[in-house]
Amino acid sequence: MLLRLFLLFTLVPVIELALLVEVGSHIGVAPTIAVVLFTGAAGAWLARTQGLRALMRLQDALRSAQFPGDEIFDGVLILGGGLMLLTPGFLTDLLGFSVLIPGSRHLIKAALKGTVRRRMPTRNAQVNTTYTVSDS
């Protein structure tokens, strides 16, 4: 796990920096900065609107006494996507937008749920249904 985190926090910034330099060399510094600022602003707006929708669905589920499993997954994914969009770079923006768009979020959510299910320990629950009646 530590190796994965190390690679995540070292490789992703290096890749992002390389992409920013490459794009900047093709379109220029000012347009590259403008694109990064625009994707950050658009991502913040999209995260806000999608987050509010997920919050409303969460409240509706709670009002109708249903467990809000999908709504919780949506909220976590929207938060993660919003954080990715605040990070300057093209790769993280692409991942952040893919999580914030409802259609692709559905696919990512299904994969995430499958991963969570595989990592959960399975135990068989046994219920004791034997009752004893005592005479007093």
Is 103 part of a structural domain of the chain?
Answer: yes
Is 29 part of a structural domain of the chain?
Answer: yes
Domain encompassing residue 105: 7-119
Contact 109, 74 (CB under 8 A): yes
Assess whether pLDDT exceeds 80 at residue 123.
no
pLDDT tens digits for range 26-72? 999 999 999 988 988 888 898 899 999 999 999 999 999 888 888 88
Residue 96 CB partners (closer than 8 Å, separation 6+) = 43, 80, 81, 82, 83, 84, 85, 87
100-109, long-range: CB < 8 A, 24+ apart: 100/43, 100/46, 100/47, 100/50, 102/50, 105/74, 105/77, 105/78, 105/81, 108/77, 109/70, 109/73, 109/74, 109/77
Is 1 part of a structural domain of the chain?
Answer: no
Number of domains in the chain: 1
Contact 109, 73 (CB under 8 A): yes
- What percent of the chain lies above the pLDDT cut of 90? 38
pTM of structure: 0.74
Is 59 part of a structural domain of the chain?
Answer: yes
Assess whether pLDDT exceeds 80 at residue 131.
no
Assess whether pLDDT exceeds 80 at residue 13.
yes
Q: Mean pLDDT over residues 100-113, rounded?
A: 88
Is 77 part of a structural domain of the chain?
Answer: yes
